[in-house]
């Protein structure tokens, strides 16, 4: 058994952060996702909650073994302690734990709360200079909006993601996945990793700042570059990509398929598969630049052909010719696919009936796997109690 009372069931290569202790004072998605990446990689993650618990516990239905599927999917391998941060004694116990045991603090509370409570980076790092402190904010640490709260759909709207998502002439659409929240969690991990590496060299801690807005601007950086180069505001592309044609999805006789024929060579092959070889010599479609300028006409012509046959027929014909393509799978189809199974992406959680998608990385062919279930609220409150035998 390890020091946290759980069997060590993974090899060390998939748990590089074993021995690192992280205190996660966060709710919802971004902070918990950052904490879970570390916990999946072997760190001990102490999740600090109030008496009601992380709001995500109630984000259902569906619920799964005592909490929402949202919460369970973001909080594996963690230890939950209830700590009312406005209670002096409980807050003092948390500070003692951080000073004595924590390597990293991750927090995403509303701007100003941690300073009011005396749990901010400056205060804690004065007590423990080697501490790494990560702020996950909404709009960033500076600027006129720095004190405003933020959520994934707000940032998709504010940063321009929604303005380029959906079909032209129709209302803006949010990307269904919480890519801004989860992306911010990833950037938090990257920042903390850099700070941990620096601490190995200097012994000094660091403050890491990431935010939803900064993450969202990163995700539109390619389209922003197009605007900066041309002065033309990118428009909604549906399933396509600005600047590359043909490169989008089409309706088939029984579903949808995405075809990525983004080079002259692939376009020529696509023309052959479609039985429209004459397009190769059409001045409107001679190269990518001309295809982009005449994409409305070209896409209309391709759509007319693709509708005539089934998704499976097109997939077989396109793949046989070396043209990249994919059916538009729903989540049930993706989870049941043999490629998902071959990679071991869908993972069981020991001691439960839950299954989740694992981290998208492997070490020497071995993917990190869950060690124990998401915690019940306050399940590990004893971790904040003083060990009197060491007094």
Rg value, the chain, Cα: 25
Compute the distance between CA of residue 203 and CA of residue 199 in angstroms, rounded to an integer. Answer: 5
pLDDT value at residue 367: 95
Compute the distance between CA of residue 277 and CA of residue 220 in angstroms, rounded to an integer. Answer: 36
Q: Which residues contact 21 (CB under 8 A, 6 or more apart)?
A: 43, 44, 45, 46, 101, 102, 103, 104
pLDDT value at residue 225: 95
Encode 146-175: b = buried (16+ Cβ within 10 Å), e = exposed. eeeebebebbbebbbbbbbbbeeeeeebbe
Q: What are phi and psi of 85, to 5 degrees?
A: -65, -20
State both tokens at 20: 């690192």
Q: What are phi and psi of 23, to 5 degrees?
A: -100, 120
- Judged on CB neighbours under 10 Å (0-12, 13-18, 19+), 382 is exposed
- Give the tens place of pLDDT for each residue, 68-86: 999 999 999 999 999 999 9
DSSP output for 100-165: HH-SEEEE-PPTTHHHHHT-SHHHHHHH-TT-EEEEEESS-SSSTTTT----HHHHHHHTTTGGGS
**Partners of 355 in the β-ladder:** 348
pLDDT value at residue 148: 92
**Partners of 64 in the β-ladder:** 67
pLDDT value at residue 133: 98
Nearest to 138 by CA among 161, 163, 173, 109: 109
pLDDT value at residue 391: 41
Encode 239-262: b = buried (16+ Cβ within 10 Å), e = exposed. ebebbbbbbbbbebeeeebebbbb
- Give the tens place of pLDDT for each residue, 182-226: 999 999 999 999 999 999 999 999 999 999 999 999 999 999 999
pLDDT value at residue 5: 45
Compute the distance between CA of residue 305 and CA of residue 87 in angstroms, rounded to an integer. Answer: 68
pLDDT value at residue 387: 56
Please identify every stretch of the chain with a pLDDT value under 50, giving residue numbers as ranges.
1-5, 7-10, 388-391
What are the C-alpha distances in Å from 299 to residues 45, 202, 248, 268, 319? 50, 57, 9, 15, 20
pTM value is: 0.91
Residues with a catalytic annotation lie at 181
- Give the tens place of pLDDT for each residue, 28-49: 999 999 999 999 999 999 999 9
Sketch out the chain's domains with CATH numbers. 12-219+343-390 (3.40.50.10540), 247-251+256-327 (3.30.1540.10)
Compute the distance between CA of residue 107 and CA of residue 95 in angstroms, rounded to an integer. Answer: 14
pLDDT value at residue 300: 96
Nearest to 274 by CA among 306, 242, 251, 226: 306
Compute the distance between CA of residue 168 and CA of residue 110 in angstroms, rounded to an integer. Answer: 36
Compute the distance between CA of residue 159 and CA of residue 213 in angstroms, rounded to an integer. Answer: 7
pLDDT value at residue 87: 96
pLDDT value at residue 122: 97
pLDDT value at residue 73: 97
Contact of 227 with 154, CB cutoff 8 Å: no
- Judged on CB neighbours under 10 Å (0-12, 13-18, 19+), 140 is middle
């Amino acid at each position: 058994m390890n020091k946290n009372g759980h069997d060590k069931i993974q090899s060390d290569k998939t748990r590089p952060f074993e021995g690192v202790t992280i205190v996660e004072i966060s709710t919802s998605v971004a902070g918990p996702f950052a904490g879970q990446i570390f916990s999946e990689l072997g760190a001990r993650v102490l999740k600090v909650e109030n008496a009601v618990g992380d709001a995500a516990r109630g984000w259902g239905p569906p619920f799964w073994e005592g909490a929402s599927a949202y919460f369970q999917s973001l909080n594996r391998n963690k230890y939950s302690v209830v700590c009312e941060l406005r209670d002096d004694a409980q807050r003092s116990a948390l500070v003692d734990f951080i000073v004595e045991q924590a390597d990293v603090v991750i927090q995403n509370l509303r701007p100003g709360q941690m300073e009011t409570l005396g749990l901010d980076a400056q205060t804690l790092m004065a007590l423990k200079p080697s501490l790494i402190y990560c702020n996950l904010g909404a709009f960033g640490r500076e600027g006129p909006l720095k004190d405003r709260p933020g959520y994934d759909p707000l940032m998709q709207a504010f940063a321009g993601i929604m303005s380029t998502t959906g079909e032209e002439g129709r209302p803006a659409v949010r990307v269904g996945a919480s890519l801004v929240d989860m992306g911010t969690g990833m950037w938090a991990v990257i920042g903390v990793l850099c700070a941990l590496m620096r601490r190995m060299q200097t012994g000094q801690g660091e403050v890491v700042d990431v935010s939803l807005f900064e993450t969202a601007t990163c995700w539109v950086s390619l389209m922003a570059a197009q605007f900066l180069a041309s002065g033309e505001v990118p428009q909604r592309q549906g399933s396509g990509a600005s600047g590359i044609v043909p490169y989008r999805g089409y309706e088939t006789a029984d579903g949808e398929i995405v075809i990525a024929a983004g080079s002259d060579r692939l376009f020529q092959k696509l023309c052959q598969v479609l039985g429209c070889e004459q397009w190769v010599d059409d001045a409107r479609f001679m190269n990518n630049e001309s295809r982009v300028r005449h994409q409305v006409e070209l896409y209309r012509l391709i759509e007319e052909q693709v509708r005539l046959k089934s998704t499976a027929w097109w997939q077989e014909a396109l793949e046989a010719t070396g043209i990249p393509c994919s059916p538009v799978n729903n989540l049930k189809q993706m989870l049941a696919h043999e490629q998902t199974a071959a990679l071991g992406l869908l993972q069981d959680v020991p001691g439960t009936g839950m299954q989740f998608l694992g981290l998208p990385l492997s070490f020497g062919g071995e993917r990190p796997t869950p060690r124990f279930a998401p915690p019940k609220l306050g399940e590990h409150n004893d971790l904040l109690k003083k060990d009197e035998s060491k007094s």
